[in-house]
Structure 1
């Protein structure tokens, strides 16, 4: 005991410093965590007892956070000797038996020596050379340029013209900042009573203290959200209600636990949106508060940060939408933080905002910083919720198996405007487009999902691993395998504080033990890289007006007519829209209960998991499809079809032989399969040529220990551009993104090439009767010019691979890609997609009490993640999808499902050359693919042969 006490005293002496009288707001804080259901306050009391000489004050974080307590040491602050501080926390943990004790730093970067105390400084509050731009006199005549750039006026008009609540009316935005002051630019705005967590009262008044670093910051950002445009400032949601919470005295002195407390307060007060124009370090208290907010259907936004390059917290947390910045020319603002966490950008340079200063006139001026970008985004979020209705948006999210936060993240990416030469690796999907965001139909959003058993959202640990990589001079497999869970906070602190030249380069004992000697050496001796490694940002394509479910039903109607009439699939275009439908019993004979036993008997061995389940599934389709079929056959009936009708008819298409997805065995399909339908003859010909030649080169991208239940997508071995070049694996850009977000994967970007460490492998067998056999792993990625996931981007990437061991396994023959654009320009041309469809968990979901996901799973024999071939037709030729679409895209109707991302599309009549790359789909309506002929230059630029 005496030794423990002596050790604590020694460590406390090295880690705690007495603060000057004016530094009380920076008092040291220890965050105490408890497992769910445990008493965090009791644990905090044990810790406080050991710190009695510092007169500690212990309390619960908030009424919503009973598993987190905070101990404050008034008048004492932590030194910047990170090793000593974290060793002190670990010693406290050993002495008290409290496992989770986290020291919390106020993130306070050094102010440039040219910036004197009390001087006016930019929004980020510290003058980093080369970061700030300064005011632009050319913009003085257009004070509303920022809301105009994001098409805010058009968004308001669209809502108003449609009879919807406009400009954010009825939506509550919690504004976590330095508080507010009276200002003419806020006159007429709806300001709710708030909370001051600094002074502990209900008056979130900004004292405009010149020593705070950025007085009036909260007033400035609030004006960008809710200003009524009566002065010079126009907010992006002037009809929204603002709930101010003063939780920081300066944007550069940020306690994560206080932000967490503010988030909890916002949730408890019924906020719909939380906006945070601030940034600093992370804490498990902040992580938990963000997760609680998202679970409560609150949309959480934060500024990516300024000048330090790496995205700061809370924006870097997976449960937060991170907003970067651009200028009036649609170029990235040079001070914007960048990297894998950035979802989208909005104006951040020379944005007009209210100016509140001590003794100021209450005027306005240009401001810089991602604080203004996230403020504009907060208004856009309020407009989106008001337009659609929050309850309806939540219902749409639930139907897709998403949180409201994730639905909005996808929607805002889906509709971003991407300028030419936009770097999606660093700045997300593009620039906010409020009008397009509101016009996007929540029920008509395409998906670009990967496989199964891997998260589609970034993980906190994955992001921290890449921060660790940014500290290393050379990445290594040792760093990729490090057990970092217990030391994540220290890694974040090391990175953030080093980037401002504000910390010693030593690691605590626990961090030292967590990684290998090689990793410690890299961490201890290297300087931070100037740019954090970056990953792409998920971005589905926008939809044109003719992609709604009605178009799907009209197409289905034609297929049913053609099927009963014995027409070839390619003859669909000759079927009139008003051709009479055959009797229901003829069109859906396979689902007739009288025929079920014969139908099941035709399935190949091993594809029937449970005959009784198949009978039940077919019976449900029969009952549900009958009334839906009647609507197809009545005037105006298509427009009256319910969600349940559409789900039933979608199931008909998947399982009546119109759009089969058939398992491969030794690169062949069973043409006698009951789902082969009218495709049997075409598949017979494919067996003897195309499938035999190309299927072996198509692999499942999976973790090294993964398989059909845990994989990322599909990758195809393709020929190199020059003779003698090694083959590459072609897949989607968004599949790479999912790989980079996977725990344990690290990467380093250099130009258009990204080295990958701890990455997944490929199983080129992947058939129903094949054992899992991973022979190669992904070593690097090559990024084609223009790659990304917006309507103007190419969703493709080339992967370099290496053997997983020294056995030098033989690779299959690479696939040749065709530059003939005409292959994808012939509507109704037959095609086939070969890939690894995953369990359709986000298909039609549960509709009117029917679980259509279960039905799909049963009729696929619960055999997912295995190599399949899916024939179909070109639905819309290249360049025929409307102005919102990339000129390389064509639409097809093959049954792909999630996991087929990255699959090559082959023409059934054109031999073994690939015609396109599948990348997205809209359930029951259509799938999208890039025609190789139109993106040949981009692919050739990364070493892929286009013949």
Structure 2
């Protein structure tokens, strides 16, 4: 299960840390209109958010109304959840005034950035949509300014969502351990730390799977429960080094490939290609993440957002966002294959697919963790920068195994 996270993250200060007011103004402005499928979204061309007293009041009021509607329509209309909505909106109003005033001191106070993180994930700035009948259900999250983006990507995104499944483990506390991506006819990609939860490494480098491990492409919230379910039969590739998901070391490759039982005779299921471009993740370019958030399992109290949506853990979601930090393609960098993004993950999302908006026919990144403290940031591997890495199963590189299994390798420059 993804740990979202107490990771020790050695990094240079991000824009969010250097100038939090500017960072949250960009988030609150929503996606630029729309900046192109692959190019950076130009934050300078996006309309500035209305942070006047009236604008803040309208934003908070609209957010409150939308969240209460979602609680009533989708979450059982529980009074305790409506109370959480009130907490979120009260805290957010104070935080939004701090952003409007560029009040660095106020933004540094405990709880202020937490409130901002919650509001941008509940007012439509960074939505997270439940998947219903194979498509993002736009009624399940405030949509903000993402309507045009979702409209433009609708057909490709629906096809991609079918390729994202939940790795079920009947012995696990939640019944599952993470997300898998169908990248080949009988091949699923996930994190090595997910593999560590479903299998035991053997002295010869092979893996022994626990009983009953399967991938299921359903598990939608109050919709399709099971779809295309298949057993996991073997491990094809695993990053060489064991992964500690609580103390993340970005130098370690958190990638695994799983073999699946063949599909039933005559059955067909779509697959996602793999984007081998090393430089797709330019700053502020748009991404979709799709996977199965779960309880992150921390000892500290869950956030308000986690409390609000905990009944949906284990169900498929789609969330849009932007690239926040680019990969540094140098072997001596501790993050040479890691990219940061700000899509909402609602807790654990291990193994989730990261797709470039406009190029949803391929997985460009593999989500593996994030920084839980504010300002939050999620991390994914840029797969094009990891292709030559050898695995602990047979010593072949990731690229060699992908080619061996007939996975479609897509280069955005050549295709």
Q: Is the 8 A contact 2:186 2:261 kept in 1?
A: no
Q: Does 1:642 align with 2:112?
A: no
The aligned residue for residue 207 of structure 2 is 754
Structure 1 residues 890-946: Cα deviation after superposition (integer angstroms, max 9, x where no partner): 111111233311111111112411111111111242111111211123321333533
- The answer on 1:696 being equivalent to 2:162 is yes
**Which of residues 303, 306, 320 is equivalent to 1:853?**
303
Does 2:323 match 1:874?
yes
Hey, what does 2:348 align to over in structure 1?
899
1:473-523 Cα shifts (integer Å, max 9, x gaps): xxxxxxxxxxxxxxxxxxxxxxxxxxxxxxxxxxxxxxxxxxxxxxxxxxx
Q: Which residue of 1 aligns with 2:51?
A: 582
**Is residue 269 of structure 2 the alignment partner of residue 812 of structure 1?**
yes
Q: Distance in 2 between matches of 1:449 and 1:764?
A: 22
Residue 384 of structure 1 is matched in structure 2 by none
Aligned-pair distance for 1:712? 0.5
Shift of 1:568: 5.1
Where does residue 764 of structure 1 map in the other structure? 217
TM-score, structure 2 normalization: 0.79
TM-score, with length taken from structure 1: 0.37
- Cα distance 1:885–1:620, how it changes in 2: closer, same or farther (>3 A)? same
Aligned pairs, how many?
385
Alignment of 1:474-553 (within 5 A): 542-547=9-14, 550-551=17-18, 553=20
| Aligned partner (choices 352, 371, 384) of residue 922 of structure 1 | 371
Shift, 1:581, TM fit? 6.5
Partners of 1:653 and 1:595 lie apart in 2 by 10
* 1:769-794 C-alpha deviation (Å, 9 max, x unpaired): 12246832222223346555433221
Q: Which residue matches 1:559? A: 26
For 1:612-627, what aligned pairs fall within 5 Å after superposition?
Answer: 612-627=79-94
Secondary structure of the corresponding residue to residue 401 of structure 2: coil
Structure 1 Cα separation of the partners of residues 65 and 106 of structure 2: 35
Stretches of structure 2 lacking an aligned partner (at least 5 in a row)? 244-248, 390-397, 411-415
Radius of gyration: which is bigger?
1
Q: Using a 3 Å threshold, how does the CA distance of structure 1 residues 700 and 635 change in structure 2: closer, same or farther?
A: closer
- Distance in 1 between residues matched to 2:117 and 2:196, nearest whole Å: 30
Q: Is the 8 A contact 2:183 2:273 kept in 1?
A: yes
Secondary structure of 2:180's aligned partner: strand
Alpha-carbon distance in structure 1 between the residues aligned to 2:327 and 2:79: 44
SS in 2 for 1:652: helix
Distance 1:558 1:713 in 2: 33
- Map of 1:797 onto structure 2: 256
Structure 1 Cα separation of the partners of residues 100 and 345 of structure 2: 28
SS, match of residue 546 in structure 1: coil
Displaced runs of 4 or more, over 6 A: 806-809, 880-883
Counterpart-to-counterpart distance in 2, 1:875 and 1:548: 8
Task: For residue 585 of structure 1, report the CA deviation from its aligned partner.
Answer: 4.5
C-alpha separation in 2, matches of 1:781 and 1:546: 38
Question: 1:800 Cα shift?
Answer: 1.5
Counterpart of 2:3 (choices 433, 449, 469) is: 449
Which secondary structure state, in structure 2, belongs to the residue aligned with residue 664 of structure 1?
strand
Distance 1:718 1:642, change over 3 A: same
The Cα RMSD (Å) is 3.7
1:669-708 alignment runs, 5 A limit: 669-671=136-138, 673-688=140-155, 690-704=156-170
Per mean C-alpha deviation after superposition, the further-off stretch among 612-621 and 785-794 is 785-794
Q: 2:290 and 2:164 mapped to 1: Cα distance? A: 8
- CA deviations over 1:76-96 (Å, ceiling 9, x no partner): xxxxxxxxxxxxxxxxxxxxx
Give the Cα–Cα distance (whole angstroms) in 1 for the partners of residues 348 and 178 of structure 2.
5
Unpaired runs of 5+ in structure 1?
A: 1-446, 451-455, 457-538, 720-725, 741-745, 847-851
Structure 1 counterpart of 2:388: 937
Does residue 717 (structure 1) correspond to residue 182 (structure 2)? The answer is yes
Q: CA, structure 1 residues 567+747, in 2 after alignment: closer, same or farther (shift >3 Å)?
A: closer
Q: 1:879 to 1:855 in 2, by over 3 A?
A: closer
CA–CA separation in structure 2 for the residues paired with 1:611 and 1:591: 21
Call closer, same or farther: CA 1:610–1:718 in 2, change over 3 Å.
same
Task: Decide which structure has greater helix share.
Answer: 1
Q: Are the counterparts in 1 of residues 127 and 141 from structure 2 also a CA contact under 8 Å?
A: no
- Residue 359 of structure 2: aligned partner: 910
Could you list the per-position Cα deviations for residues 784-841 of structure 1 after superposition, in whole angstroms to 9, with x for gaps in the alignment? 46555433221101111237xx9769462221101122322x2111110110011456
The answer as to whether partners of 2:321 and 2:343 remain within 8 angstroms in 1 is yes
Q: 2:245 aligned with 1:779, yes or no?
A: no
Q: The residue matched to 1:936 in structure 2 has which SS?
A: coil
Distance 2:368 2:87 in 1: 31
Structure 2: how far apart are the matches of 1:771 and 1:734? 25
Contact kept? 1:831, 1:905, Cα under 8 Å: yes
Cα separation, 1, equivalents of 2:157 and 2:217: 14
Q: C-alpha displacement at 1:716, in angstroms?
A: 0.9
Higher relative contact order (CA 8 A, sep 6+): 2
Say whether the 8 Å CA contact 1:701–1:761 is kept in structure 2.
yes
For 1:660, what is the secondary structure of its paired residue?
A: coil
Which residue is equivalent to 2:393? Answer: none
User: Any idea what SS the aligned residue of 2:361 has?
Assistant: coil
CA distance in 2, matches of 1:929, 1:598: 30
Q: Go from structure 1 to structure 2 and tell me whether the alpha carbon gap of 1:779 and 1:630 turns closer, same or farther (over 3 Å shift).
A: same
Cα offsets for 1:125-174 (capped at 9, x unmatched): xxxxxxxxxxxxxxxxxxxxxxxxxxxxxxxxxxxxxxxxxxxxxxxxxx
State the 1:872 CA deviation. 0.6
User: How many Å separate the matches in 2 of 1:839 and 1:881?
Assistant: 34
SS in 2 for 1:856: helix
